[in-house]
């Protein structure tokens, strides 16, 4: 089965980001394909490399980055939602006159077309969060 995953909540807002991560990891371990993970609304906060949780807490951003690297996942952060929340890659930082970027490793910024494509290309599109 080919899954598309949408994450609508930030990494420490509710359990949605954790649940999405655990689902994605389990699906991959069972041999399923994950076409794309799309981070939208506050979910884009899963893609900032500046998140620094306490040492005794889980680092959800690092978990996503490592899973993305290990499995070649397409981790897409919505450009409009990211810009509203101060998350930019090098290109967006330059285009908007910012002096730094903060996108986490394995993530990329793109538009809503990537969400539509995930819905079309996947057998199931699962949404985590409100």
pLDDT digits (tens, 9 = 90+) for 40-85: 999 999 999 999 999 999 999 999 999 999 999 999 999 999 999 9
22-41 pLDDT, tens digit each: 999 999 999 999 999 999 99
d(CA 7, CA 27): 16
> Which pLDDT value is given to residue 13?
87
Q: Which pair of tokens denotes residue 23?
A: 């689902």
Identify the CATH number of the domain defined by range 2-128: 3.40.1260.10
Which residue among 20, 34, 44, 78 is the active-site one? 78
| Domain residue ranges in the chain | 2-128
78 is catalytic: yes
């Amino acid at each position: 089965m080919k899954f598309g995953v949408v994450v609508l909540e930030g990494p420490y807002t509710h359990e949605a980001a954790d649940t999405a991560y655990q689902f994605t990891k389990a699906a991959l371990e069972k041999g399923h394909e994950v076409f794309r993970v799309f981070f939208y609304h506050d979910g884009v906060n899963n893609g900032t490399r500046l998140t620094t949780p306490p040492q005794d807490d889980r680092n959800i951003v690092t978990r996503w980055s490592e899973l993305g690297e290990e499995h070649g996942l397409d981790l897409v952060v919505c450009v409009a939602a990211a810009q509203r929340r101060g998350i930019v890659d090098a290109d967006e930082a330059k285009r908007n006159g910012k002096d730094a970027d903060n996108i986490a490793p394995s993530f990329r910024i793109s538009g809503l077309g990537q969400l539509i494509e995930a819905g079309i290309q996947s057998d199931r599109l699962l949404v985590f969060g409100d």
